[in-house]
Amino acid sequence: MNRFYSPLLNPTYEGINADDYCIATYLVGAEKDEEPVLKAASIGIEQTTGSWIDVPAETDEMREKYCSKILGVYEVPDYENMANVNMNVKEGQKRFYIFRIGYPVANIENNIPLFFATITGNITSMPYLRLLDVDFPAKFAAQFKGPQFGIKGIREVLGVPERPLLNNMIKPCTGYTPDVGAKLFYEAAVGGVDIIKDDELIGGDRSFNKLADRVRANMDAAKRADAEKGETTLYACNITDEVGKLKDNAMTVIKNGGNCIMIDSFCTGLSAMRALAEDPDINVPILSHCCFGPALSVSEYQGVSSLVLTKLARLCGADIHLTEPPYGKFDITFNKYIRNITACESKFYDLNTIFPFVGGGVIPGLVPQLVHDIGNDVLLGVGAGIHGHPMGPRAGAVAFRQAIDAVMNNVPLRKAMKGKEELTAAIDKWGIYGEEKIKDLYAI
């Protein structure tokens, strides 16, 4: 028997111990006459024990333990005979398949760089190959601590048991001094923002804004705002930097009174975030920003689905993770948005949840839709929707809290805005989702 077709490499799912394998699901395009089982087996062998030609030391005993297992080859549509293929697939057109390939946990253990090398690796240089999902076995997930705080822990820190949470990104994104940032911070916090974060574009020490100075100034602003509003404000300070500086940056935040850290997790690498999350010295929540992640996920036929990246962020310890909604500046599909939210909140063995954080052009007129989609366990990420409010950032924050209160009390925004000048000004400026085409607000 051709070894590419042997039961050793092509078992049934029921013929393996699924807890021994990370099972990857791919979308793969092939030429009309290309043999898909051979293609799937070639991909699996390339990413485990073999190469393009048999080598003497790759024995059947080695393959049994360490080679991939081809668990599914499904054509879309599901042709059964070549007559239909010849009738429907023109010369030069692709035939598309879903491949399910199991990779031994023993090859990866709990090594995130090796996970990427194994599951994606060389094969991502192929055209028409996209990683759709990974089924992580309990044996693999048990090696990760995951989020320290999660939804329940973040709510306990803030003392907010039920309502949606409000986040603000300081705007402008970068280029400002600590005193300028602290003034903006105070105005947003005192207006009712729960979590204020640095933008993804300002991290670590900048020549114009040193990390320790930024933390001290913003935490002083937080204390003043908290005393006035009677609520707690978290400051997610962006520590993004070269990997060797990350822990020092995190400790600078903590030693200067900071109560949350932020990292551009796909820029530094997920392993870097994991090292922070699993370090006992770092006892504050971690906010994971998804920037650069879309470079891996945006192509429909290449790369890695954002669903896989969200699951990995949870494994690697993010307490809060940003994903885009389909309504604002960006055009993620509704399906992928919802799947990313469920990947944050659904049961994942014994791992803690992640607080889903949606941002990118969020305005008060979007609050009812976002809460309808996600429920109350959502962190609304707002930048210009607060700092660009016609009455200033304090009023911008108040407008969002008014919108949140309206949703919590099942009051339509048009009714809720009566007598509330902050919410009225925001709706007059930006509208309500479903009444206007709010995509027209954004230049990108």
Helix (H) or strand (E) holding 398: helix 393-408
Total domains present in the chain: 2
Residues identified as active-site? 171, 289
Of 94-98, 329-333, 384-388, where does mean pLDDT reach its minimum?
329-333
Mean pLDDT of the region 26-31: 97
pLDDT at 131 over 70: yes
Both 15 and 72 in one domain: the answer is yes
d(CA 352, CA 146): 6
Predicted local distance difference test score (pLDDT) of residue 437: 82
d(CA 5, CA 322): 43
Both 435 and 297 in one domain: the answer is yes
Predicted local distance difference test score (pLDDT) of residue 444: 65
pLDDT tens-digit series, residues 393-411:
999 999 999 999 999 999 9
d(CA 201, CA 383): 13
Predicted local distance difference test score (pLDDT) of residue 293: 93
Predicted local distance difference test score (pLDDT) of residue 384: 92
Both 323 and 404 in one domain: the answer is yes
Both 111 and 154 in one domain: the answer is no
Both 111 and 161 in one domain: the answer is no
Both 135 and 242 in one domain: the answer is no
Q: Which of 83, 112, 141 is the last residue of a domain?
A: 141
Both 127 and 224 in one domain: the answer is no
pLDDT band at 1 (very low <50, low <70, confident <90, very high): low
Q: Which of 109, 141, 173 is the last residue of a domain?
A: 141
Output the CA–CA distances (angstroms, integers) from residue 395 to 101, 184, 186, 254, in the order listed: 53, 12, 12, 30
d(CA 182, CA 442): 27
**158's tokens:** 């803030």
Mean pLDDT of the chain: 95
pLDDT band at 89 (very low <50, low <70, confident <90, very high): very high
- The angle at the Cα of 18, spanning 111 to 355, to the nearest 5 degrees, equals 55
164's CB contacts (< 8 A; 6+ apart) are: 367, 370, 371, 376, 377, 378, 379, 380, 404, 407, 408
Longest C-alpha distance within the chain, in Å? 81
Both 95 and 175 in one domain: the answer is no
Both 130 and 213 in one domain: the answer is no
Predicted local distance difference test score (pLDDT) of residue 135: 98
pLDDT tens-digit series, residues 335-345:
999 999 999 99
Both 129 and 171 in one domain: the answer is no
**352's tokens:** 């803690």
Predicted local distance difference test score (pLDDT) of residue 182: 97
Output the CA–CA distances (angstroms, integers) from residue 135 to 19, 40, 218, 347, in the order listed: 10, 18, 41, 13
pLDDT at 51 over 80: no
Predicted local distance difference test score (pLDDT) of residue 79: 95
Predicted local distance difference test score (pLDDT) of residue 371: 97
Best CA proximity match to 194, nearest among 173, 172, 224, 225: 225
pLDDT tens-digit series, residues 146-180:
999 999 999 999 999 999 999 999 999 999 999 99
Containing domain of residue 64, as a range?
3-141
Q: Which one has a higher pLDDT value, 251 or 64?
A: 251
d(CA 198, CA 211): 11
pLDDT at 104 over 70: yes
Q: Which of 116, 141, 166 is the last residue of a domain?
A: 141
Predicted local distance difference test score (pLDDT) of residue 109: 94
Both 189 and 128 in one domain: the answer is no
The CATH number linked to 42 is 3.30.70.150
The CATH number linked to 205 is 3.20.20.110
Both 252 and 269 in one domain: the answer is yes
Mean pLDDT of the region 212-226: 98
Of all residues in the chain, what percent carry a pLDDT higher than 90? Answer: 91
